[in-house]
Amino acid sequence: MTVRRLGAGLVAAALFTPALAACAGGTTGTAGSTASPTVSASGAPSGAPVSGDAKQALLDSTKEISNGNFRFTLSGAGSTAEGQVHQPSQSAAMKFSIGGPSSDLAMKLDVIHAKPDSWVKLELTGPTADSLPAIKQLNLGKYQHLDQARIKGNKNLGFDFEKVDPAGSAVLTQGITEVRSTGTGTYAGTIDVTKAAEAGSLNAATIAALGTQAKTVPFTAKVDPQGRLSELVLQLPAGGQTTAQEIKMTYSDYGAATAAQKPPADQVVEAPAELYSLFN
């Protein structure tokens, strides 16, 4: 297996999608809800009245994200991501983990962006990683400084400060097809995730595997006392060779995130060609 094939098999199929390894399967479950009146996507109630427009409340809940000052987590299929975005300083820091100790190949990434620079610290472990000599050039234990020209448009290594939400929740909530209020600041319903790849929330292969089910994926959501999105959970049904799985994204510390810290100079090296091959 070459480094380029490694990248195609692990990264292209998984990285930077809140499923993060959606094609590898994940947990099973269904979205929880309580008995409550249903509201159509337009907000018109069927049954007992619901206070306010539930869909509009969720659409509005994503607006603060665009200001680019928050912390977030993403999880699904045994993989996780967490980080912070700080638009005022044009910086962001993110950590990703794909696979675990028992995986044939596991990856951890520590990515820092501070315009105009970006760095990544990479760790690949497992029998497959141990068998690839080229991996030794990548597991340097240091931050690798990235050439911006070589990562332009690369969703794995780059970051677009014009589109600061890693999960694209604003796009996702626009796909709500049914929603009901389940309590103070809590909602449940269904969502059309066919545009989730555009949002950055799921990979295209997972969406395609869902078939027509992609248009009615169950979800739950929570907003904080200020009406800002704090949690969005998608309950993906089984599709193709992918098992049912839960994709969860959370937001916190709105307006209170801090600037990402640049790595110390003595912990930085220039990224080798093999690194770019891995992620292209």
The whole-number pLDDT of residue 128 equals 81
pTM for the whole structure:
0.80
Give me the helices (H) in the chain, please. Answer: 3-6, 12-14, 54-61, 127-130, 148-151, 169-174, 196-199, 204-210, 273-279
Distances (CA, A) of 131 to 49, 101, 134, 250: 62, 16, 9, 37
86: Cα separation from own chain's centroid: 17
Helix (H), strand (E) counts: the chain: 9, 14
Provide the pLDDT for residue 102.
79
Residue type, 272: P
pLDDT value for 238: 87
pLDDT of residue 230: 98
pLDDT score of 44? 36
Q: Mean pLDDT per segment of 10 residues, for the chain of length 280 residues?
A: 37 37 34 35 36 85 96 87 94 89 84 94 85 76 93 81 88 93 96 82 83 95 97 90 87 96 95 84
DSSP state at residue 271: P
Among residues 4, 10, 268, the alpha carbon closest in space to that of 124 is found at 10
- Residue keyed to tokens 């931050």: 143
d(CA 94, CA 74): 11
Antiparallel, parallel or unpaired: β 268-270 and 143-145: parallel
Q: What confidence score (pLDDT) does residue 168 get?
A: 87
The pLDDT assigned to 6 comes to 39
